[in-house]
Structure 1
Amino acid sequence: MKRILAKISLFLLTLLLFVSCNAVKRVEAEEWLLTKNDIFLNGERISENRIYNQLYQKPNSSLLGVPLQLHFYNLARPNIDSILSEKFLQNNQKRERLESLLSRKQLDSYIKSRIEFNQWIKRTGEAPVIVNREDTQKSVNRLESWYWNNGWFNVETDYQIIPSQKKDKRAKVEYYVETNTPYKVDSVNTDIDSGVLDSIYKRHEDEALIIPGTQYRTLDFNAERDRLTSLFRNNGVYNFDQEYITFDADTINTDYKLNTTIIIPNRQASDEDSTYRVPFRVHEISRVNVFTDYTYSNRYEPVTDSAQVDNFTIYSFNRMEYKPEAIIDAIFIRPGRTFSDIARTRTYNRLNSLQNFKYPNIQYTQDPGDTTNTDLIANIFLTPQPKYSLGFDFDVSQSNIQKFGIGFGGSLLIRNIFRGAENLEISGRGSIGSSTDAAASKEDDRFFDISEIGADLKLTFPRIVFPFDTEKFIPKYMSPFTSLSLGVSTQNNIGLDKQNLSSILNYRWTPSRLLTNRLDLVNLQYVRNLNIDNYFNVYQNSYSELNNIVQSANVVTSPEYLNNNGRLIIPQGAENFIESVNNADNTTTGLTAGQRQNVINIRERKNRLTENNLILASNYTYLWNTKENLYDEEFTRFRFKIETAGNMLYAISEVAGFEQNSAGNYEILGVAYSQYVKPELDFIKHWDLGSGNIFAFRAFGGIAIPYGNANSIPFTRSFFAGGPNDNRAWQAYDLGPGSSGGRNEFNEANMKLALNLEYRYNLFGALNSAFFVDIGNIWNVLDIVEDEASTFTSFSDLKDIAVGSGIGLRYDFNFFVLRFDVGFKTYDPARSTGDRWFQEYNFNHAVYNVGINYPF
């Protein structure tokens, strides 16, 4: 191992020396490659990214000090056209020889491909950043502007280009900034011509963003301009625009204090060839007209249907397909109310969220019947989407259950099914595959021997459907929705062959762009296992452990439990052996205490995974997400979820006096229902470090505590660790619980802690990379599991947190990211204490993950 590490180190050192010499390959004799920028603020070197981001010229991007993109660019030939022309076209003898082997067209195509490949290298790489005095002066100007805009009006700047002492065509640039005394805001006065604007301003003066006593910032003044524009337009001033606002700042003989005057003149109007100013006025909405089936082609056609409701007029060019009340419910522009930008924005958002219309268009016009010229008519043009939409999907997959699988599905979306903008979605899904023989019958020689089929029905209402009015708690501007869904599925030759029935009554609403709330008032799931006799065919690890115990030297058990090879017969022999150990009936003897406990643990896990599940739960999710769009690289995401199950059923069972089974649990339809509480916290933070460098952080914690009618958590509600979106040094379900070492095929538990750190950077073009560290594990706590290695009993068990680290590649296709990660077990809690760090830290024992998009 030491020799291999030495060879790798020697190779990396040689490569580093080679690329270091090659970096200035395309730098001319009288030029310098920019290697570093230093900024000195009042004589002290600083390292703030926000200041360095002001510089116009920055060194080539690098990884561990190596400018990979620059080296890739240097692979391109600078004069490829003339080189190829001289090599193939001007050399008559060589050209004739090639043309005898290739046609002239083929030769031209070859030359063209060489040129295009050379150009691709240049586009993908990064040209050397050459020190340029003009660009350096631009950087100085930017620095000066940044400090001026933050209150240092007397800032002084300079720079110096410092060539390398090695005279190797490299140089760095030092920038010098002397800020001097900053200016602070002293007083804020107003000069507002319009009495209407002045009155609105004074009512909201305490909300001002320019605050006396604070240091001047241009951004504060810009924000105040935006605030005032929004304030006036949301208080009825339809004609107002931010260009009307100017600031007059007095700094003469003020002892570094700034006296500000906000100036807003009257509105400019025109009449033929003359212009004049008129005071701003508050405008009201006199009428709202809604065209429910507007298209460009029917814009001149006469309307054939209309309805008048609450001073709204609803028009249709054909038969009206929507209930007027459903349309009005989505509109916040109301007759008799003052004009408001907020009302228009909320109307746009609500109409778009209905998924019934495309390109809503809202226009305001002066009411010709109003002599004061203050009334507005709002015209809302809606273009319906197709009533029916079909969707199909198809995928090919591979897993530890199937060697090869084909999945397929389809969906039908019916819009406006009850004429109230309700949407009904009917979907079906299915899959067929070839098993790994873990679950399928050995007598079945078909290639496609496993299958799954399911169907879902989802009905969405654009309001809260509840026995009483919820408008006071969840107003319409929060875009409330109610969804009722029903799903069924069945499996054949997959694991224990399950039938699944689920039903959810869900409410969701968004109080702001950042905040989303979701409440599953009813979340019902019934899981029925059809083939529990197949348990030991599926969970081979448990079966192997039992056989190892049976074949121990001192263990004696009934020959009826064993086949001719001395292995337990599936299923009856294995089950009888477990029960004989559990009951201590002397059929099985010679077990150690540890072996007996292991058998009991296997029995508990088998009972839990083979029992049918009835889960009647409710849950609430709070999601705060500052990410503005797909390309936003700096954001915060916080999710809190709490779920409770079985409480209502338990109360009914207690009041009704239901009988309990032999285990002391109540049953519904022959199934002991689950009862638990399950809180989760998930926090994600991304920092944009500039130049394609991102630092991403995630922390997760969750626990599911059984109580009352249950002493364990259903498999579908438990936690697992490992996999491409968790701890990438372990495969999914392979990590934990605790230090147990992942003995089972599917390791899960009812408590989880996870922490992920990832540094992402660009290599070249659309190819990115990342270093990551994943920390976490799962444990059993407060449930039926008694295995000491798997349970969390005190904070000292945090020593069993696993650590994985690694590197990954990501290729950005714009609409999705293809991800490849290599994870190494850095700290493995399954190993003995003192032998956990960096054991088997090599590619032979690495875990390779392929995923779509980033893990968090």
Structure 2
Amino acid sequence: MNNFKNIVILFTIAFFASCSNTRFLPDGELLYTGGKVKIEGDSISRNEKKELKDQLEDLLRPKPNSSILGLKPKLYFYNLAGEPKKEKGFRHWLRNTVGEAPVLFSQVDRQYNQDVLQNYVENSGYFNAQTASDSTRRNKKASVVYTVTPKKKYIIRNVTFPDDSTQLAKDIRDVTRRSRLRPKQGYSLETIKEERIRIDTRLKEKGYYYFNADYLLVQADTTVAPHQVDLFLKIKEETPDLAKKQFRIKDIVVYPNYTIQNDSVRITSDSIVKHNDFTIIDSENLFKPRIFDRTLYFKKNDLYNRTDHNLSLNRLVSMGTFKFVKNEFKVADTTGNYLNTFYYLTPMPKKSIRTELLAKTNSANYTGTELNINWSNRNTFRGAELLTISAFGGMEVQVSGQNNGFNVYRVGTEASLVWPRIIAPFKFVSSSGFVPRTKATIGYEYQERRKLYALQTFKGSFGYLWKENERKEHQLMVSDITYTSPQNVTQLYRDQIDLNPSLERIIEKQLIFGPTYSYTYTNTMQRRKKNTFYFKGSVDFSGNITGLLTGADVKNDKQVEIFNVPFSQFVKIENEFRHYLKLGKESQLASRIIVGAGFAYGNSEEMPFIKQFFIGGTNSIRAFRARSIGPGTYDTSTNTGVFLPDESGDMKLEFNTEYRAQIYNFIKGAVFVDAGNIWLMNDNPNKPGATFSKDFLNEIAVGTGVGLRFDFSFLVLRTDFAFPIRKPYLPDGQRWVLDDINFGSSSWRKENLIFNLAIGYPF
């Protein structure tokens, strides 16, 4: 009851504070509270009225001061700050950054808004509409109501396209099959503009380089019948001759060492190289000519088309070798309709070194730092190859908690070489605007967990990366090898193995090799869409062919070894799906589901520990410590060891949903719910309740919480407070713990409230 009283008092204070905003207005001024649109008349349906009303109200200017639940907090802070004496300091920040100046009624131009509304309804086909406006004043506030009386919408009766015998007119008629202007559709000026752009786009694919949408004219005849209109699409008489011609490609000239500062190139006789259809002018002989064969789509005598134009530019940019890419077309000085095309390319610095110092923390109460040093060569063998050599080192320390003192140290190095082409015994043809790549990587890492053990890991991979378009991406690693070997295992850790035998798997020697493949689809870059998606599916094989060759697929009592190390055999599949629902200009509902399963066979009884699934933590179920949930209903608190081990499983199911909204400028808020768990495929006597069964839905962990996101454009700093509302390790019937929530209890907060600090969104 006391809490309710406090809430009432708080809202009362805020209400009166909001009302007091009018006290600060200049003499004779009124606070503008907004405009409304009323649609009158019986000429259009109720649904048309509602849709038209929403569209028209969005056009009204100016917008009133922003409000929350009818209150205007930004205006209140503006008035609270008063007139600052200096152009800096707290008052200046509060007034001009946090606050918002009052929108005055004197700033409203009613006639201008009426004209805007009138133009919009007529451009939407409601000809002969009428608009009027009236203001309402109360105390020191004012609003405006705009009344629009539309007539019946005009419908397209016929559409006529150019019918003369010119090639341009013929090509326009050829692209009308998917015209946006069709009989029985409502008249719309916006649709007419879209149709002109559509036709221009199609003509660009047919060689009309100099054509422009402005050269098309659409005339409307509204006298043909009541509330009907005939449209006539014509080519303007003033259209220049160049715009009416189709062009083919003649000479293709590439300047791969162009200096944009001087806007010039140095040409000598030995700097000109003829290669197939290209003329390459490279005074320093920086690049092998063949890279342009694989990058540029135009060939001599090709009909100009905008697709090949854009794909060539996209490929040059996506190579990651050139800082600036400039393309120019000029009419060739020959008989016939030909274009010479020129590519001016400014290379990035060939060699560079980058150093990164990172600070990090996680929900397991580990904090630490990491140093990365990367050296790159962007044109290693004169074929735009990217060679990267990196070294890294870092440490993680738990300041407080059960793992205090078991610090983690890691150092390592990695070298990778990326070729801007597919190196394979078969021919790979891509019509994408993204250059396909071949990547080879080799690396080493030494990780020490103080007082327990150390691990040495060697990795090597070779495979291909290619994108069909900006939405679809593939990655196929033909060979992906990992070898892990334990070092310096302490007696303390061996004693823990006696208490928890599953810990022995962490320090087993592991040899994993085989192909991996992943496919990614996303349209999240299309910001205007209400619904956007992200999907990533991956499959990981290990030892499948080797198992057939060595006979490991046939179950034996003894594992087959390579270099005295048993190799792993498994199939792992993982799918991640995200959905983003745009609710408003600055709000959305983001959801994610992850489903994964791993199956060990042949030479392996269990999945390798590093290939198993984990759950919990800053990017997973945030109400639980990282890697602390499951498997199944297994209770990690039964571990009698001196530290908390990471829990892993062969199957994973995870759901997340998060409502995101802007609170103020760069500060965004979130309310989220996370759920999921992991399970083992086979029974483990040391982990009761860990096996996947038909009751898996009853074993789901659920957490919820709130968070803030500080979007600094170059990074997003995320803070989340989360707590569990369902604990799968409790007895059946007692797993929902909503009744136990008590924010006023320090013991409850210590046991349940989790703070997450991270960079970027969780998904």
> Aligned ranges for residues 432-447 of structure 1 at < 5 Å?
432=395
Match of 2:305 among 340, 360, 372: 340
Q: CA deviation at 1:384?
A: 1.8
Residues 350, 477 of structure 1: 8 Å contact kept: yes
Corresponding residue for residue 287 of structure 1: 251
Secondary structure at the counterpart of residue 457 of structure 2: strand
Match of 1:808 among 670, 686, 707: 707
Counterpart code for 2:656: N
Match of 1:507 among 464, 469, 482: 464
Q: CA deviation at 1:610?
A: 3.3
Match of 2:533 among 633, 637, 645: 637
Residues 362, 618 of structure 2: 8 Å contact kept: no
Secondary structure at the counterpart of residue 207 of structure 1: coil
Partner Cα separation in structure 2 for residue 266 and residue 331 of structure 1:
36
Residues 358 and 518 (structure 1), Cα distance of their counterparts in 2 relative to 1, 3 Å cut? same
Match of 1:759 among 635, 647, 659: 659
Corresponding residue for residue 594 of structure 2: 701
How big is each residue's C-alpha offset from its partner over 1:259-292, in whole Å with a ceiling of 9 and x where there is no partner? 11111136645xxxxxxx5782211111111122
Residues 633 and 486 (structure 1), Cα distance of their counterparts in 2 relative to 1, 3 Å cut? farther
1:454 aligns with 2:412: yes
Partner Cα separation in structure 2 for residue 852 and residue 509 of structure 1:
28
1:359 aligns with 2:324: yes
Secondary structure at the counterpart of residue 205 of structure 1: coil
Residues 62, 108 of structure 2: 8 Å contact kept: no
Residues 16 and 512 (structure 1), Cα distance of their counterparts in 2 relative to 1, 3 Å cut? same
Q: How many residues align?
A: 736
Partner Cα separation in structure 1 for residue 206 and residue 217 of structure 2:
20
Give the greater-gyration-radius structure (CA).
1
Counterpart code for 1:611: E
> Aligned ranges for residues 519-530 of structure 1 at < 5 Å?
519-530=476-487
CA root-mean-square deviation: 3.5
Residues 514, 624 of structure 1: 8 Å contact kept: yes
How big is each residue's C-alpha offset from its partner over 1:804-823, in whole Å with a ceiling of 9 and x where there is no partner? 33332233322222222222
How big is each residue's C-alpha offset from its partner over 1:78-120, in whole Å with a ceiling of 9 and x where there is no partner? 4x55xxxxxxxxxxxxxxxxxxxxxxxxxxxxx6656x73365
Corresponding residue for residue 595 of structure 1: none
Residues 112 and 371 (structure 1), Cα distance of their counterparts in 2 relative to 1, 3 Å cut? closer
Q: CA deviation at 1:828?
A: 4.3
Secondary structure at the counterpart of residue 526 of structure 1: strand
Corresponding residue for residue 386 of structure 2: 423
Q: CA deviation at 1:155?
A: 4.1
Partner Cα separation in structure 2 for residue 465 and residue 812 of structure 1:
41
Partner Cα separation in structure 2 for residue 748 and residue 155 of structure 1:
68
Q: Which moved more, 1:283-292 or 1:116-125?
A: 116-125
Match of 1:124 among 98, 122, 133: 98
Q: CA deviation at 1:35?
A: 4.7
> Aligned ranges for residues 296-695 of structure 1 at < 5 Å?
296-297=261-262, 299=264, 301-303=266-268, 304-318=270-284, 320-368=285-333, 370-372=334-336, 374-398=337-361, 405-432=368-395, 451-471=409-429, 474-475=430-431, 477-494=433-450, 496-533=453-490, 537=493, 571-572=494-495, 575=497, 602-603=500-501, 605-628=502-525, 636-646=532-542, 649-658=543-552, 665-669=559-563, 670-687=565-582, 689-690=584-585, 693-695=586-588
Residues 76, 122 of structure 1: 8 Å contact kept: no
How big is each residue's C-alpha offset from its partner over 1:428-463, in whole Å with a ceiling of 9 and x where there is no partner? 111256676999999x9xxxx863211111111111
Residues 718, 749 of structure 1: 8 Å contact kept: yes
Long gaps (5+) in structure 1: 82-110, 270-276, 538-570, 579-601
Match of 1:12 among 10, 13, 18: 10
> Aligned ranges for residues 23-422 of structure 1 at < 5 Å?
23-27=21-25, 31-35=29-33, 38-41=36-39, 46=50, 52-78=57-83, 80-81=84-85, 113=88, 117-118=91-92, 120-131=94-105, 134-163=108-137, 167=139, 169-170=140-141, 173-191=144-162, 195-265=166-236, 268-269=239-240, 280-295=244-259, 296-297=261-262, 299=264, 301-303=266-268, 304-318=270-284, 320-368=285-333, 370-372=334-336, 374-398=337-361, 405-422=368-385
Partner Cα separation in structure 1 for residue 483 and residue 535 of structure 2:
27
Long gaps (5+) in structure 2: 638-643
Partner Cα separation in structure 2 for residue 54 and residue 789 of structure 1:
60
Residues 194, 279 of structure 1: 8 Å contact kept: no
Q: CA deviation at 1:641?
A: 1.0
Q: CA deviation at 1:336?
A: 1.0
Counterpart code for 1:798: L
Partner Cα separation in structure 1 for residue 742 and residue 404 of structure 2:
39
Residues 404, 434 of structure 1: 8 Å contact kept: yes
Corresponding residue for residue 836 of structure 1: 737
TM-score, scaled to structure 2: 0.86
How big is each residue's C-alpha offset from its partner over 1:199-246, in whole Å with a ceiling of 9 and x where there is no partner? 222332213222222223333222221121122222111221221111
TM-score, scaled to structure 1: 0.77
Q: Which moved more, 1:456-465 or 1:291-300?
A: 291-300
Residues 159 and 9 (structure 1), Cα distance of their counterparts in 2 relative to 1, 3 Å cut? same
1:798 aligns with 2:697: yes
Residues 138 and 708 (structure 1), Cα distance of their counterparts in 2 relative to 1, 3 Å cut? farther
Residues 362, 617 of structure 2: 8 Å contact kept: no
Q: Which moved more, 1:195-204 or 1:631-640?
A: 631-640
Secondary structure at the counterpart of residue 181 of structure 1: coil
Corresponding residue for residue 774 of structure 1: 673
Residues 263 and 400 (structure 1), Cα distance of their counterparts in 2 relative to 1, 3 Å cut? closer
